[in-house]
Amino acid sequence: EVQLVQSGAEVKKPGESLKISCKGSGYSFTNYWIGWVRQMPGKGLEWMGIIYPGDSDTRYSPSFQGQVTISADKSISTAYLQWSSLKASDTAMYYCASHIAVAGTFDYWGQGTLVTVSS
């Protein structure tokens, strides 16, 4: 069974750094793109970026380029999303998602990680 399991909720202060994770299992993690999607409170879905764990090829949405870093450790089947300096506007639910059976479509999703940034 394919599963993407994300790290738990985080509460941070503005200016702090953060790295959240997404662990894949039940499939060949190395061979499928895995992306990150932001959902701000009460809002829609925004694609942030995507990584191919096999060679760490990474693509970013122009809206998020330079704002976050996406990485992966294929040895432990885990993808990461990190911030060097959080802002209150980073408060959101963050989902990882992969397209395994269908190219260009997010057919498997993590459960989400809620990030709250508040002073």
Q: Which residues lie near another protein (CB under 8 A)?
A: 35, 37, 44-47, 50, 59, 61-63, 95, 97, 101-107, 109-112
Q: How far is the CB of 96 from another protein (least distance, A)?
A: 9
Q: How far is the CB of 102 from another protein (least distance, A)?
A: 5
Considering the complex, state which of residue 13 and residue 59 has its C-beta at the smaller distance from another protein: 59
Q: How far is the CB of 17 from another protein (least distance, A)?
A: 25
- Please state, in angstroms and rounded to a whole number, the distance separating the CA atoms of residues 88 and 40: 11
The CA angle 39-44-48, to the nearest 5 degrees, is 50
Count of CB atoms situated within 10 Å of the CB of 87: 11
* Residue 17 neighbours by CB under 8 Å, 6+ apart: 82, 83, 84, 85, 86
Considering the complex, state which of residue 54 and residue 112 has its C-beta at the smaller distance from another protein: 112
Considering the complex, state which of residue 44 and residue 119 has its C-beta at the smaller distance from another protein: 44
Sign of CA dihedral 59, 61, 62, 65: negative
Considering the complex, state which of residue 10 and residue 46 has its C-beta at the smaller distance from another protein: 46
